[in-house]
Amino acid sequence: MLARSFGCARVVFNDALRARQDAYAAGVTLSDTDVQKQVVTAAKKTPPRAWLAEVASVVLVQACQDARRAYRNWFDSMSGKRKGRKVGPPRFRSRKDNRQAIRLTRNGFSLRPNRKLYIAKVGELKVSWSRDLPSVPSSVTIIKDAAGRYFASFVVETTDDPLPECDAEVGIDLGLATFAVLSDGKVIESPKFLRQAERRLKKAQQALSRTQKGSKNRVKARIRVAQAHAMVADARKDWAHKQSTVIIRENQAVFVEDLCVTGLARTRLAKSVHDAGWAMFTRMLEEKAARYGRTFVKVDRWFPSSQLCSTCGVLDGPKPLSIREWQCAACGVVHDRDLNAAKNIHAAGRAEWLNACGGTVNPAV
């Protein structure tokens, strides 16, 4: 029944998308209610879509909402209301998509005393709980990933859990040779999960390429490739969670350079950049800082952290990546490239933080 729910949600999403496209092309205004009546309520009464009644109506309604949200995000992105990367027009979903998902609000699911999850018109699902829920969930998303695994993601209301204040602050310089160098001298080595798994991934990919398109063996081989990639992604995510938690617990303020990961991912360093997972790591730092009462500041990506002398503040000029140590022409201090950058990021982030708080910036700090 989960597979049927995934399929019905996909069909309703595509129908809602088509209805909005046709209305837009015809210059007709179509409200959310009109779309829902057309692709859900009325559609279930027609022979070609009668099977939509076999799944919970909340699944179909949420699929309509997803289509509406996709359109709104696109329009807001074009008009400049939506910040961040540009969002393209919504696309139709294929039955061959590796990722499938349905979303249910409170009237479509419940948590049973036996710790099972009940889904309307599906039944009870056995769940391996990663943690206890802090409050009653308002909605749940059931996801099937490319590796054939199922996840239940709940929306719950939580409260901040501030940690005891401490005096430590840290600037972080992210890199590829070493994952991060902290302004206090600590070095976090890069685990390079993708590089370590390359042989296993290559073997699985070769097995996939030898199968015939459309065959059951190809489906099995594709799942094995997805499982191999999922193992790498899970290991990287778990490691990033542990490292970010330690940094947040030990420091009252954390300062990180706002790297252009998208731009770097288009260079010859793309594989190493993706393997590092900088964006995921900084996002974890930002989220945990907000939750635990810490300060998190992103330093502008154009700040010359590798060109400034952290001792005297003289701008020494750009340096190729091959130079790992350099001597300041003004004060003569010899710097480790990454440690010096981390110290400069700390100073710049701290200055920005104090300015935002109305404090006084001490040039000596």
- Mean pLDDT is lowest, of 55-59, 153-157, 202-206, 358-362, for 358-362
Q: How confident is the model at residue 273 (pLDDT cuts 50, 70, 90)?
A: confident
- Dist. CA 327–CA 316, nearest whole Å: 9
> Residue 364: is its pLDDT beyond 60?
no
Over the stretch 60-111, which tens digit does the pLDDT of each residue have?
999 999 999 998 999 899 988 888 778 899 999 999 888 999 999 999 999 9
**Cβ(104)–Cβ(140) under 8 Å?**
yes
pLDDT at position 357 is 65
Instruction: Tell me which of 273 and 190 has the higher pLDDT.
Output: 190
> Residue 362: is its pLDDT beyond 70?
no
Establish whether 165 is a catalytic residue: no
- Dist. CA 118–CA 220, nearest whole Å: 29
Spatial strand order in the sheet of 109-111:
109-111, 117-119, 123-125
Judged by DSSP in three states, 344 sits in helix
Q: How confident is the model at residue 359 (pLDDT cuts 50, 70, 90)?
A: low
Establish whether 66 is a catalytic residue: no
Task: Give the number of residues written for the chain.
Answer: 365
> Residue 149: is its pLDDT beyond 90?
yes
The residues spanned by each domain of the chain are 2-155, 169-357
Which one is catalytic: 173, 275, 286, 316? 173
pLDDT at position 1 is 82
Which one is catalytic: 66, 169, 257, 286? 257
Over the stretch 185-238, which tens digit does the pLDDT of each residue have?
999 999 999 988 999 999 999 999 999 998 999 999 999 999 999 999 999 999
Establish whether 34 is a catalytic residue: no
- Dist. CA 135–CA 113, nearest whole Å: 15
pTM of the entire structure? 0.84
User: Rg of the chain's alpha carbons, rounded to an integer?
Assistant: 25
